[in-house]
Structure 1
Amino acid sequence: MTPFVWMFIKNYENLRKFIINNKSISSLIQLEYSAFSEATVPICTFVLSNFDENYAGTYLKLSEFTGGMDVQKEKVLQIINGDEILNDKNKFIMKKENFNSIPGNPISYWVNDSIIDIFKNSKKLGKIVAPKCGLKTGITEKYVRKWFEVDYNNIGFDIPNREMAKKSMLKWFPASNGGQYRKWYGNIEDVVFWYDDGYEIRNLFNPNGKLKSRPQNMQYYFKKGLTWSALTSKKLSLRLSPIGNIITGAGYGLFNNEFSLLTIMGFLNSKIATYFSSIFSETLNFEVGILNRMPILIKENSEINKLVSDNITISKENWDNYEFSFDFIKHPFMNFNSDLLKECYEMYASDFKLKFNELKKNEEQINVFFIQEYDLKNHIKKNVPNEDITLFKPNLTEDIKSFISYAVGCMFGRYSLDNEGLQFAGGEFNIDNYHKFIPDEDNIIPVLDSEYFEDDIVNRFVEFVKICFGEETLEENLDFIANALAKNKKPSREKIREYMLKNFFNDHKKTYKKCPIYWQFSSGKENGFNCLVYMHRYEPSLVARIRTDYLHKTQKAIEQAIANCDNIINHSSSNTEVTKATKEKSKLQKQLKETQEYDEALAHIANQNIKINLDDGVKVNYAKFQNIEVSKEGKKSKKINLLKKL
């Protein structure tokens, strides 16, 4: 019994050759991934016999049968006892010489003679194009950022080569860095520090004098190509790596000057390539060697190129609908000519359905072409399951949340109703650049459970909706938004306030991959005080202004609310009113105490006038406001977080 990775991965290729050429596998059982609970990895069990040149071994594939070793034992016995269905589907006889016909010699025992002939009569993909590993920086946390963390003005986009990148004197450049299962376009969220042609990374040495980084295949940096994720939870999926991107160690690259990358992309995103990749490896690690060994029987095809080009366009439009794309221009609801958000959502969903069906049809046409070219109609069907169409699908609740996020971006001036695209993400902020909807002037937006400030986040949001869609439909639009957020019977503004207070930051943190750009200063779980600020507009005096202009005013408002509760408790003849006021007073007292402790921590930081450097990224800068030690005479010191935890 062994882990079954030796059957497939490159590290064991010499072992496989030795077994194939000097021994015979008389029988092998590939067990279900987690069948043998004592092991922490998927395993196989096999018997080797002395060398027999013409020996054909017996192989059982049980990977689809979940349920532990009892189930595996039952299936083996059923096969031995002649179960026709299992014998036809899960039992294979394979001559050892056939393993030598498959590049890399994987023990892919289920491959039949027609597939073996394809390998014998085809070229390897690696002879036509150049699959390459990319940049490994050596210190990821120092040299790789999400693009939205850093000063946007320091990012170089669409730069065609290393020479021009160096002359630009810019610091950060887009990186094709792997990511989730997605085809055609997307997963471009990272930037890598390549200032001065990567001088710092290219000269990063360990204390022993050995180069710590691996700036490999630099001649392909910034070139247009294809990229895929080294590790994925699903199948092989190729995406466009546009001009200006640097390939990395987690997102490999594929390049070529002659053969069309579009035709290659169509092939590698087809079910044919998925089938061949399963022959080379049953692990989820799609290393360069797997693509290098792909059998190529095709020539460049204009029809396939058109389908692939259309798929890239559809996928890019879908990716750019979301803020994590640096080509995001405005929320998709704003693309439709209606003053009702409900109608905007319905038109958005309808438009998506057309695009989805077009992409699915295109993918199935691509499958048909390659199935015919490889004569594999008996092995592979053209159909593409809906879950394999890698577009972000409409979801009312999530899309309303993203609309709220866009509104918050406009409140801070990141986006503007006057101009499409990113308006401000670093540099010198000028509020005079905005006209239709004016951003918050001091970069501090209160997020409280009561309306203590005219410019609190709910009032600003209501104003935003009114400006975008008109006053006549305001209440209907607010109801639509609120009902998408919560199904209770509370008033719409109350539902929206509750979402802003309790859930907005967590959703923002998730969207921005734990690198939030809107920071929530929070006094704690009692929600005595909360406010949002925009990281890219941060100034050293900000914390002091939060304290004096907002926290202290909130404390006074809470004290007044407590006094109002006391008035009701002392003078009301209604038991219901008294009970309600008593409960409210208890909550307010807890909030006041919480804000008083928070005030001490804020004062400590306010006096320091802390500076932040956007190049350091969110996590480094965020930590400057966390675990603030507050001590009182005669009491044990206490650590307080000024910001909500990441």
Structure 2
Amino acid sequence: MKDEYSDAKQDLYGAFVVRGIGLANRRGLLAIVIGDTWMSIKSFEAMRLRLLNGHAFDSFVHMRDVSNHPDIFGANAAFVLSMAGQRSRRAPFIRLEPLGQERKDQDLRAALKERAPGAGFHLASDEDFAMIPGTPVVYWLSEKMRAAFTSGTRLGSVAALAVGLQTGENGRYLRQWWEVSATRTAFACTSREEAAASGARWFPYNKGGEFRKWYGNQEHVVNWEHDGAEIVAFKPRAVIRNPGTYFSPSVSWSDISSGEAAFRRYPEGFIHDSTGHSGFGNPTTLDQITLLLNSKFVMEVMKVVAPTLHFHIGYVGLVPVATGIEELRPETVERLVNTARKDWDVAESSWSFEQNPLVALRSSSRGNLD
């Protein structure tokens, strides 16, 4: 596979596609039914380019379940590829999602009759796909969504996106903040120099964590005493990435999520982990970026650029940022962050926890009775 089908070596069905293209007449057609993972995943980009180079889709049916093939996991893509097709030709793409063959037949007929996106019918061309980084076959995108990728600046050019520290042995170097001495912990250092001069051993650690927007997941500390001397000496298992960003304010998100990505603002004082991906810049820019990243628009964009459960920096860096981002008001994200912070601080696991709200309510009630 690696030698003969280097562009499609990720899956055996890719070899069948490439071989079929090679066997087809230069004015012929290739009709095939395969899985759909190749349509958007980054590792299949070379196969997509090979498939679309000098060819064009004639028709396409995307079946989002395989109820009649229970031994196969995933979904199927059935398409006809024209060897001499024009890249500008807008071919019909039909999306079928319901379970059951009878229901699929009904939806297919409805899509062909109504010819509208609401019925699962879309028109798209190879040129449309080329507008998106990685050339994913995202036929359902509107013209405005596609145009956003060509008119906007990529997030990776607006903010400094960076992967953080990999300790090599978290059980040795990480703790929950309540497990260590408060007198040996520094929560608000603004630089590595200030952290080293503090004499503290433990510092806040951004490890990603569960789905939370705006604020939260602040519960770990890392042993960074003497500017991380012990971890630095733990090489090669420990990997010190982008130390110049440590203790800087950021917008951050978790590498893995079972659903949508969630972006959070982190104040200064944190070292970020390899799974707590982060973006850095001036505070106003970070606030505006946070508002953009948690928007419905970016949630739809992420379905295109990050179709799996991973939201690594390469994917997030492709998010298009329009010039209008400068009009987003930082006060808005401040209100949202404050609301999320109050929700986080209600729990005793927050280092800013002061009083259980039920106790506070009871004390207030007693005061009113007195």
TM-score by length of 2: 0.79
Letter in 1 for 2:250: G
Give the distance between the partners of 2:107 and 2:304, measured in 1 at CA: 23
**Contact 2:36–2:76 at 8 Å: present in 1 too?**
yes
Give the distance between the partners of 1:124 and 1:118, measured in 2 at CA: 10
Q: 2:83 aligns with which of 50, 62, 77?
A: 50
Mark the CA change 1:89 to 1:304 in structure 2 (over 3 Å): closer, same or farther: farther
1:254 maps to: 279
1:244 aligns with 2:269: yes
Mark the CA change 1:37 to 1:259 in structure 2 (over 3 Å): closer, same or farther: farther
Give the distance between the partners of 2:203 and 2:330, measured in 1 at CA: 28
1:62 aligns with 2:77: no
Give the distance between the partners of 1:23 and 1:141, measured in 2 at CA: 53
1:38 aligns with 2:87: no
Letter in 1 for 2:101: D
**Contact 1:169–1:195 at 8 Å: present in 2 too?**
yes
| Secondary structure in structure 2 of the residue aligned to 1:148 | helix
Give the distance between the partners of 1:194 and 1:288, measured in 2 at CA: 24
2:162 maps to: 132
Give the distance between the partners of 1:151 and 1:33, measured in 2 at CA: 53
1:214 aligns with 2:214: no
1:74 maps to: 105
Structure of higher CA gyration radius:
1
Mark the CA change 1:285 to 1:4 in structure 2 (over 3 Å): closer, same or farther: farther
Q: 1:274 aligns with which of 299, 321, 326?
A: 299
- Deviation of the 1:298 alpha carbon: 3.0
Give the distance between the partners of 1:181 and 1:33, measured in 2 at CA: 27
Q: How many residues align?
A: 335
| Secondary structure in structure 2 of the residue aligned to 1:135 | coil
Letter in 1 for 2:92: T
Give the distance between the partners of 1:326 and 1:2, measured in 2 at CA: 52
- Deviation of the 1:227 alpha carbon: 0.6
Give the distance between the partners of 2:59 and 2:364, measured in 1 at CA: 69
2:212 maps to: 182
- Deviation of the 1:284 alpha carbon: 3.0
Q: 1:8 aligns with which of 40, 65, 81?
A: 40
**Contact 1:79–1:87 at 8 Å: present in 2 too?**
no
Mark the CA change 1:49 to 1:136 in structure 2 (over 3 Å): closer, same or farther: farther
Give the superposed CA RMSD: 3.0
1:538 maps to: none
Return 105-114 or 14-23, whichever deviates more. 14-23
TM-score by length of 1: 0.47
Give the distance between the partners of 1:122 and 1:14, measured in 2 at CA: 25
Of Structure 1 and Structure 2, which has the larger fraction of its residues in strand? Answer: 2
Of Structure 1 and Structure 2, which has the larger fraction of its residues in helix? Answer: 1
2:15 maps to: none
User: Which string of whole-angstrom CA distances, capped at 9 and with x for unpartnered residues, describes residues 514-554 of structure 1?
Assistant: xxxxxxxxxxxxxxxxxxxxxxxxxxxxxxxxxxxxxxxxx
Give the distance between the partners of 1:194 and 1:8, measured in 2 at CA: 40
Mark the CA change 1:33 to 1:158 in structure 2 (over 3 Å): closer, same or farther: farther
Query: Structure 2 regions of 5+ residues with no counterpart?
Result: 1-32
Mark the CA change 1:93 to 1:203 in structure 2 (over 3 Å): closer, same or farther: farther
Which residues in structure 2 correspond to 1:140-219 (within 5 Å)? 140-205=170-235, 211-219=236-244
Give the distance between the partners of 2:184 and 2:75, measured in 1 at CA: 46
Mark the CA change 1:277 to 1:87 in structure 2 (over 3 Å): closer, same or farther: closer
Identity level (%): 28
- Deviation of the 1:91 alpha carbon: 1.8
Mark the CA change 1:29 to 1:280 in structure 2 (over 3 Å): closer, same or farther: farther
| Secondary structure in structure 1 of the residue aligned to 2:204 | strand
1:97 maps to: 127
2:4 maps to: none
Higher relative contact order (CA 8 A, sep 6+): 2
- Deviation of the 1:196 alpha carbon: 2.7
Mark the CA change 1:121 to 1:71 in structure 2 (over 3 Å): closer, same or farther: same
Query: Structure 1 regions of 5+ residues with no counterpart?
Result: 206-210, 341-468, 474-646
